[in-house]
Amino acid sequence: MKPVKVGLLGLGTVGTGVVRIVEGNQEHLSSQVGSPIVIERIAVKNSEKARDIVVDPSKLTTDPWEVINDPEIDVIVEVMGGINGTKDYILQALDHGKHIVTANKDLMALYGSEILAKAQEKQCDVFYEASVAGGIPIIRTLIEGFSSDRIVKIMGIVNGTTNYILTKMSQEGASYNDVLKEAQDLGYAESDPTSDVEGLDAARKMAILGTLGFRTNVELQDVSVKGISGVSKEDIAFAKRLGYEMKLLGIAECQNEEFNISVQPTMIRAGHPIASVNGVFNAVYVYGEAVGETMFYGAGAGAMPTATSIVADLVAVIKNLKLGVNGLKQIVPYKTKKLKSDEDIYFKNFLLLHVDDKAGVLAKITQVFAEYDVSLDSVVQQANPHNPDAEIIIVTHNASKASMNKVLRHFENLNVIRRIKSHYRVEG
């Protein structure tokens, strides 16, 4: 049996995991695809670097173009990361008729539509399961499992770093800065954690999920983003008191062919399945018109979970290769993009206000809500021995984003309100 030859771009943590799985599970993989799978060439930054896996030195190169241009290679597996140079490698590989497996969420979020269009033109596969939620097969599920249904909502924890931080803050009452430092020491957070904690990583993943779920071209700038750096342990304590957990949620909703996507710290009802997803784990909740509610849970990162998704994609490419159907399963967006206006985006809100501690304050505040047609679910006024101002906790019923923005702007100029301490979306 003629082997299928694979070129690997990158031999870091995930690339090493790919090599381990391909070489360690060769009999199992070969039985599925009908031929051996051989990693023929590997592009690395430093060919002399000591590694914790034995690789034939003759297979290593520091020039990715040697891998891209090798006529013997059928499939390129890209795990090197980066955007601009990597995009050039992938487009050139597609021009050479090579199939692509990538874990690059940044690349697919920014240039996925261009890459998939090129793949369709060249009748090549581009699979990217590992770009979202690590070892959870959510992309294949959206493409194949929901092919007969219409998805109306996708809600998920798609960043393990922020989930770890919020979990520790919730369970231990620790401060954001203390837990962030711990996450960095453990390797869960980068030395520059901006992409994770400010929601950018999650936004890229939600752009990918939104594109697949709603079959329209969702761009990164279509995603409203707010990170967790402003979440205090007091906010989480208030949430728990009201029966909620705080999570950084990506939320994509579509009604009447119009959609909105956001990433933001969200208070989710403690009884909701996503509320119990803790630590570095990910979960994606999908609502279909026909199937109803489904949830997918698992490891969102790590060498072996991510490598598992990559090799699963590799197997799918090779099966298509044997059947001669490569390039026929690409999901190229076909619906016109229609973003919801703020008047059509509805959700519940949590507000914590620091106000003057005197009679009549609550009446003035509720009057503002009434003026902008926002009804209230609950209102709690309390004194705080650590705060000379009174504190008012408000949870609204579903209100339009436009109406809530008007309320917040009005509050900024209302003389009885000292400070809008916190404002969060409420789900579940």
387-396 and 376-384 beta bridge pairing: antiparallel
Q: Edge-to-edge strands of the sheet including 99-102? A: 60-61, 37-43, 4-9, 75-78, 99-102, 126-127
The residue type of 66 is E
If phi > 0 it is left, if psi is from -120 to 50 it is alpha, else beta; for residue 307 that is alpha
Which residue intervals of 187-265 are DSSP H helices? 194-197, 200-214, 233-241
Return the ∠ at Cα 365 (arms to 359 and 368), rounded to 5°.
145
Contact 261, 237 (CB under 8 A): no
- Calpha distance 191→426 (Å, rounded): 31
- Calpha distance 96→69 (Å, rounded): 8
Beta pairing partners, 248:
265
- Catalytic residue numbers read 205
Which residue intervals of 251-376 are DSSP H helices? 303-323, 361-371
Burial (CB < 10 A; 0-12, 13-18, 19+), residue 64, is buried
* Residues 6 or more apart whose Cβ sits within 8 Å of residue 237: 173
Distance, C-alpha 131 to centroid of its chain: 9
The residue type of 347 is F
Q: What are phi and psi of 116, to 5 degrees?
A: -70, -35
Return the ∠ at Cα 327 (arms to 321 and 137), rounded to 5°.
85
Q: What are phi and psi of 358, to 5 degrees?
A: -155, 165
Beta pairing partners, 267:
246, 426
